[in-house]
Chains A and B, each alone.
Chain A
């Protein structure tokens, strides 16, 4: 379980997150929706401590931490409990596909090279890249790079995988292959928090939808409720706009 309590974050005077409370059950697939600038990325980054909230607490598995009092060891500890899949993949570009996945296992989790290799190959096969082990990221398509990113996160066996718009930097014809992989691992019961603008995908993989606007959670609930019968005016507006854009682009 992951529990965020009263998370607030400002950049200078600009408050980007305002007292966010969110609970994610084990095995849940949470989708975060919201307009640009509403703080979705910042929230994910706080969970992975890529951003330091001004205040708030996080509980993740058997570990909890108050952001105000976190020391280096706590931060290191927290980071090991989640893994991020980045919008722009952020693969280690001087390392091969296999090395990218092995890196965290060997350096952080102290696997032996053999074990790390075995596990990494298994993960890469799962995302359909068993034949690209020795390629460098620059030799892969965007969709393939993002699948390596997913394998890298998956291999670490974290409490939660955080996806920040994993398909928004991709050419349209490559979106499907990445979403298929995410669907597949969602079915395995891995806890995930996904920021996405892919409404169809959000609807059919998630079991918990969160709608954010201007740094607060406006509404959350089961996908059928949020998509079928949103209660808040802002949610309705957003869904109306995004589904019409979506229909328009077809």
Chain B
């Protein structure tokens, strides 16, 4: 069997069709992950009664089980839950009105939230306690101190790890094919099977993922430079 370099290009062109799907899955799960992750991190750091136990259990469960399992649990479990509630309360809503990609959004957001909460938690803990005390001392409320002083510094600490999470979620978005959502990887499979050129199709998909990863890394290092302006040493 010989490799057909030109077909890599052909495959690449047809993979672009699925690019928006991969991007939207990644963007939604990482943005939701950031929100869930920040909330969970704060709940655990401040030991909010009751909630912090739930948050801890959530993080432990998600990190202790494979991501594909989360997708299946949501995909098979959520419809039962929704239809059950709908029936009990006499609501017209049916689970089959949810598009397939909706299950992917929900499950991947939950996955990203748990992993990112650990990253954010580490970032917040790394901010010196003196910073929040200084904020209190100038009269800020806890919310003001977190928003204006602690979180921005935590963000700059955990930016490299958040970027890793983003790359991780980009790559993991390929699992969406398990519930018949056509992302780049699934599209590669379709192209491969139609033309009987598997290696070429997957090489094309790999190149596409690699390209996006490089872009993310570039953007991160640029952002890092800007945010870390204040860490320059020396005397001005």
Q: Interface digits, B127-159 against A, CB 8 Å rule (1 contact, 0 not)?
A: 010110111111111001000110011001000
Closest B residue to A88 by CB, please name it: B130
The reply to whether B139 and A92 contact each other, CB–CB distance below 8 Å, is: no
Separation of A30 and B25 alpha carbons in the complex (Å): 62
Instruction: Report if A86-B233 is in contact (Cβ < 8 Å); known contacts: A76-B141, A94-B156, A107-B140.
Output: no
The reply to whether A156 and B138 contact each other, CB–CB distance below 8 Å, is: yes
Which of A94, A132, A153 has the most C-beta atoms of chain B within 10 angstroms of its own C-beta? A94
The reply to whether A139 and B233 contact each other, CB–CB distance below 8 Å, is: yes
Contact segment of B7-15, B51-59, B196-204, B224-232 = B224-232
Which residues of chain B come closer than 8 Å to A152, judged between CB atoms?
Answer: 138
Which residues of chain B come closer than 8 Å to A76, judged between CB atoms?
Answer: 139, 141
Q: How far is the CB of A102 from chain B (nearest CB, A)?
A: 10
Q: Interface digits, B39-79 against A, CB 8 Å rule (1 contact, 0 not)?
A: 00000000000000000000000000000000000000000
* Contact for B229 among A50, A136, A156, CB less than 8 A: A136
B98 within 8 A of partner (CB):
no
A residues 52-92 in Cβ contact with B at 8 Å: 72, 76, 79-80, 82-84, 86, 88, 90-92
Closest A residue to B142 by CB, please name it: A72
Which residues of chain A come closer than 8 Å to B5, judged between CB atoms?
Answer: none
B234 within 8 A of partner (CB):
yes
B88 within 8 A of partner (CB):
no
Which residues of chain A come closer than 8 Å to B133, judged between CB atoms?
Answer: 50, 84, 86, 90
Instruction: Report if A94-B134 is in contact (Cβ < 8 Å); known contacts: A104-B140, A138-B231.
Output: no
Which residues of chain A come closer than 8 Å to B139, judged between CB atoms?
Answer: 76, 79-80, 104, 108-109, 156
Separation of A152 and B149 alpha carbons in the complex (Å): 15
Instruction: Report if A94-B140 is in contact (Cβ < 8 Å); known contacts: A86-B130, A139-B234.
Output: no
A166 within 8 A of partner (CB):
no
The reply to whether A132 and B134 contact each other, CB–CB distance below 8 Å, is: no
* Contact for A94 among B130, B136, B144, B153, CB less than 8 A: B153
* Contact for A93 among B131, B135, B138, B235, CB less than 8 A: B131
Instruction: Other than A141-B235, A156-B138, give 8 A-B pairs with Cβ distance below 8 A.
Output: A50-B136, A92-B135, A94-B230, A108-B139, A136-B232, A138-B231, A140-B235, A152-B138
Q: 7 nearest interchain CB pairs?
A: A104-B138, A90-B130, A90-B134, A108-B139, A80-B139, A136-B230, A84-B137
Show 21 residue pairs from A and B whose CB-CB distance is below 8 angstroms, ordered by the A residue: A48-B137, A50-B133, A80-B139, A82-B137, A84-B133, A86-B133, A90-B128, A90-B133, A94-B149, A95-B230, A107-B138, A107-B144, A108-B138, A134-B236, A136-B236, A138-B230, A138-B231, A138-B232, A139-B233, A139-B234, A140-B235
